[in-house]
């Protein structure tokens, strides 16, 4: 075993020491667990992120820092390590040019997913080595999760998790040049809740100077109405036997808060599926009228963020896995009634079913699972594109089907975007021998977007609907109207 080769970089808070990784694909340095704000504990637990004071000497950045997620989920969709500790607001920087302030490389800032209550920036799937190989600096950042990060609390600022994203991006602006990056070429990117974070940030006036492009992968949107957030907070306080104030809730452990929030946000049966489509996550970014001044797509329509290129899309069957194995049970209910139970009825339902004959033929579970995918993810991507009509926007569709579970499911595209098919647990999700040609095509598009502000195909327009398809037989090809099958859902009120 070879000796560790260290490298160093300077930040405004002090010097940090990272580690070189020498590989056949090229050299990459990792600086892990650098705090961008003070530990959110004690009086800072529900406060806006507090600036990190300077430190003396050189701070080791050799291991991942503490994560806001406290419990690992065995067998989850992504390996998501939980690292214990209090200093949970930290960044990880992967760079091929540490200390080279003249390198001017493009930067990708990654915001992890997890439904706004889970996920980890320490996942091996988010290692930036392939991006580094191709000349892009990668930063992964953490943020407060669940009610601690997003719950409405009297006496505390709203959207603390969003403020964490902003603080992390401010750290990048202040320091990334020291890691070889160009602060004027920052792309924000994320998947699922992280993709929703990208869409949210794109509509926040206060955040516009912090990035210049956005890549939203399977964006699961927030935009919770303020009154809904307040009602949820009152219900949570009542269940805990306290007022939902900062002073009272500081005495409640994260574990207690998490248990109650999960109970309240997961109603039984079809009510849960209906709430996922109609309301989105019940602990998520809130339209508070201050930081998030108005619903995000209204901000787009007003021109906020429309000067920035946006790349977005989804997998074909994001949440079909949620109803997998329930074919016999769901077949007992007529399909129109089944869809009505999750909020899809009348003429919109009929139009939607007419656009999905293959899923109707596969049975009720497949049709319901496809509706969950379309209602939560694919229609969100199309709504965003429409709200930004005339702005630089590129759509993609991920159609590769896992040979392990026979779906083009949620998170399946991540190791292709990161070109990390050799990472732990990837083949358990993709099946053995996942196609490297597909990873090369997708990762290449992401690198080009971060570097050149175009992924390499024609931009989407309302008239043409140009979409890049990343699929099985042909790794990448352009098609027209690939999202036309969810146009009917745009007629539904957007309640999130």
Convert the pLDDT of each residue in 199-213 to its tens digit.
999 999 999 999 999
Does pLDDT of 1 surpass 60? no
Structural domain count, the chain: 2
Average pLDDT over residues 102-109: 98
In the predicted structure, residue 74 carries a pLDDT above the cut 90: no
What are the pLDDT digits (tens) for 417-469?
999 999 999 999 999 999 999 999 999 999 999 999 999 999 999 999 999 99
Condensed to tens digits (0 to 9), the pLDDT of residues 225-284 reads 999 999 999 999 999 999 999 999 999 999 999 999 999 988 877 888 888 888 888 899
Q: Are residues 231 and 315 in the same domain?
A: no
pLDDT tens across 129-174, in order?
A: 999 999 999 999 999 999 999 999 999 999 999 999 999 999 999 9
Q: Does residue 397 sit in helix, strand or coil?
A: strand
Known catalytic residue at 410: yes
For residue 68, tell me if it sits in a domain: yes
Q: Do 224 and 98 belong together in one domain?
A: yes
Residue 3 lies in a domain: no
Catalytic residue among 356, 410, 429, 443: 410
From first CA to last CA, the distance across the chain in angstroms is 53
What's the chain's average pLDDT?
95
Q: Kindly tell me if the per-residue pLDDT of 75 is higher than 80.
A: no
The one catalytic residue in 80, 318, 402, 482 is 318
User: What was the pLDDT predicted at 24?
Assistant: 80
Note whether 319 and 216 are same-domain residues: no
Pick the catalytic residue from 28, 123, 142, 192.
192
Same domain, 336 and 477: yes
Number of DSSP helices (H) and strands (E) in the chain, helices first: 18, 15
CATH of residue 353: 3.40.50.1820
Q: Exposure of 355 by Cβ count < 10 A (0-12 exposed, 13-18 middle, 19+ buried)? A: middle
Question: Are residue 258 and residue 361 in the same domain, yes or no?
Answer: no
Tell me whether residue 372 is in a domain. Answer: yes
Q: Does residue 275 form part of some domain?
A: no
Cβ contact 442:470 at 8 Å? yes
Domain holding 333, by residue range, is: 309-491
Distance CA 119, CA 142 (A): 9
Q: What's the token pair of residue 5? A: 């080769």
Residue 457 CA from chain centroid, whole number: 23
Q: What is the pLDDT of residue 2?
A: 61
Question: Is there a single domain that holds both residue 183 and residue 256?
Answer: yes
Identify whether the C-beta of residue 477 lies closer than 8 Å to the C-beta of residue 437.
no
For residue 73, what are the β-bridge partners?
Answer: none
Higher pLDDT, 47 or 277: 47
What b/e readout covers 94-133, taking b as 16+ CB neighbours within 10 angstroms?
bbbbbebeebebbbbbbbbbbbbbbbbbbbbbbbbbbbbb
Task: Please state the separation of Cα 463 from the chain's center in Å.
Answer: 29
Give the tens place of pLDDT for each residue, 309-338. 999 999 999 999 888 888 889 999 999 999
| CA 62 to chain CA centroid, nearest Å | 25
């Amino acid at each position: 075993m070879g000796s560790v080769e260290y490298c160093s970089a300077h930040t405004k808070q002090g010097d940090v020491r990272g580690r070189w990784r020498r590989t056949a694909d090229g050299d990459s340095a990792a600086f892990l667990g650098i705090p961008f704000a003070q530990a959110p504990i004690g009086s800072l637990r529900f406060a806006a992120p507090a600036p990190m004071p300077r430190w003396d000497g050189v701070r080791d950045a050799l291991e991942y820092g503490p994560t806001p997620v406290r419990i690992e989920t065995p067998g989850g969709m992504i390996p998501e390590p939980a690292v214990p500790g209090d200093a949970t607001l930290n960044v990880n920087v992967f760079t091929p040019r540490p200390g080279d302030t003249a390198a001017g490389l493009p930067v990708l800032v990654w915001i992890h997913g997890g439904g706004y209550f889970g996920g980890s920036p320490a996942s091996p799937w988010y290692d930036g080595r392939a991006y580094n190989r191709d000349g892009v600096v990668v930063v992964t950042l953490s943020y407060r999760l669940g009610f601690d990060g997003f719950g409405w609390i009297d006496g505390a600022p709203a959207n603390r998790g969003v403020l964490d994203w902003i603080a992390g991006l401010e750290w990048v602006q202040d320091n990334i040049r020291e890691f070889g990056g160009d602060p004027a070429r920052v792309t924000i990117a994320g998947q699922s809740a992280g993709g929703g974070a990208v869409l949210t940030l794109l509509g926040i006036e206060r955040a516009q100077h912090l990035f210049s492009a956005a890549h939203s992968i399977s964006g699961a949107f927030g935009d919770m109405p303020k009154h809904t957030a307040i009602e949820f907070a009152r219900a949570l306080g009542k269940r805990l036997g306290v007022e939902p104030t900062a002073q009272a809730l500081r005495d409640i452990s994260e574990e207690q808060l998490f248990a109650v929030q999960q109970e309240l946000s997961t109603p039984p049966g079809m009510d849960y599926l209906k709430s996922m489509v109609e309301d989105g996550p019940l602990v998520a970014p809130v339209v508070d009228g201050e930081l998030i001044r108005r619903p995000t797509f209204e901000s787009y329509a007003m021109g906020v963020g429309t000067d920035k290129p946006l790349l977005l899309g989804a997998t074909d069957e994001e949440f079909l896995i949620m109803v997998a194995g329930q074919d016999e049970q769901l077949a007992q209910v007529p399909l129109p009634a089944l869809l009505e139970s999750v909020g899809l009825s009348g003429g919109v339902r009929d139009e939607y079913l007419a656009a999905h004959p293959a899923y109707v033929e596969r049975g009720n579970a497949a049709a319901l699972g496809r509706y969950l995918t379309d209602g939560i993810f694919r229609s969100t991507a199309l709504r965003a594109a429409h709200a930004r009509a005339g702005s630089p926007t590129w759509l993609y569709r991920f159609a590769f089907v896992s040979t392990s579970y026979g779906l083009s499911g949620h998170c399946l595209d991540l190791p292709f975007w990161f070109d990390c098919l050799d990472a732990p647990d990837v083949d358990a999700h993709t099946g053995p021998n996942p196609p490297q040609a597909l990873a090369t095509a997708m990762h290449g598009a992401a690198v080009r977007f971060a570097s050149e502000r175009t992924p390499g195909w024609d931009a989407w327009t309302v008239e043409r609907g140009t979409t890049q398809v990343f699929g099985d037989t042909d790794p990448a090809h352009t098609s027209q109207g690939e999202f036309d099958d969810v146009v009917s859902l745009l007629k539904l009120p957007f309640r999130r």
